[in-house]
Amino acid sequence: MDWKWTWLHIYRVLFIGVNCGGYIEASSDSDGIIHSPRYPSNYDDNVVCIWLIEAQSGYSISLSMDEIQLEKEGTGSGCVDFVEIRNGSSIQTLLYHDCDNTSNNTIQARWLWIKFYTNYVTSNKGFTSSWRVVRDPCI
Ligand SMILES: [Ca+2]
């Protein structure tokens, strides 16, 4: 089966109920910015965005979380609203999960599956991240 068809099919299935985001097929010399809707103004409640960035064979996407200010729990360090990044899809390895600038903020993989989630109340500034394609050193 053609890989591209497979990914587009998975993408469509996973995106049912999603408000925003998109699929980015990244050519070898491309880059871009992904940010929360309306950034740097506050985001809305009840938002789910999913982006999927795919690099060509032999390349990876290197993403830098430049700023992230999302709702946290009132007590403790947990996140109420969050950005989650996984290696390709919702069930693959977790690479990033955060609501402020506390964790390692550079993520690299061939496929980056990026989810922005906000609950029903309380907003904040949001997030902005920049990505670029790099040659995969393992190949
Ligand atoms: Ca919230």
- Residue ranges of domains in the chain: 3-135
pLDDT band at 73 (very low <50, low <70, confident <90, very high): very high
Identity at 36, one-letter amino acid code: S
* CA 3–ligand 1 middle distance (angstroms): 36
What angle (nearest 5°) sits at the alpha carbon of residue 36, between those of residues 32 and 42? 140
The pLDDT value given to residue 85: 96
* CA 106–ligand 1 middle distance (angstroms): 24
Mean of per-residue pLDDT scores for the chain: 88
The answer to whether the bond into 40 is cis (omega within 30° of 0) is: yes
* CA 121–ligand 1 middle distance (angstroms): 5
Report residue 116: phi and psi, to 5°.
Answer: -110, 125
CA dihedral angle for residue 27, residue 133, residue 23, residue 18, rounded to 10 degrees: -170
SS3 19: coil
* CA 119–ligand 1 middle distance (angstroms): 4
* CA 127–ligand 1 middle distance (angstroms): 13
Residues around ligand 1, an ion, CB closer than 5 A: 71, 81, 118-119, 122
**Burial of 63: CB neighbours in 10 Å, binned 0-12, 13-18, 19+:** buried
The pLDDT value given to residue 135: 93
* CA 17–ligand 1 middle distance (angstroms): 18
117-138 tens-digit pLDDT:
999 999 999 999 999 999 987 6
What's the whole-model pTM score? 0.85
Q: What is the CATH number of domain 3-135?
A: 2.60.120.290
* Paired tokens of 46: 């009840």
The pLDDT value given to residue 24: 93
Distance from C-alpha of 120 to C-alpha of 56, rounded to nearest angstrom: 37
Q: What percent of the chain has pLDDT over 70?
A: 83
Residues 51/22, Cβ–Cβ less than 8 Å: yes
Distance from C-alpha of 29 to C-alpha of 37, rounded to nearest angstrom: 26
* CA 120–ligand 1 middle distance (angstroms): 6
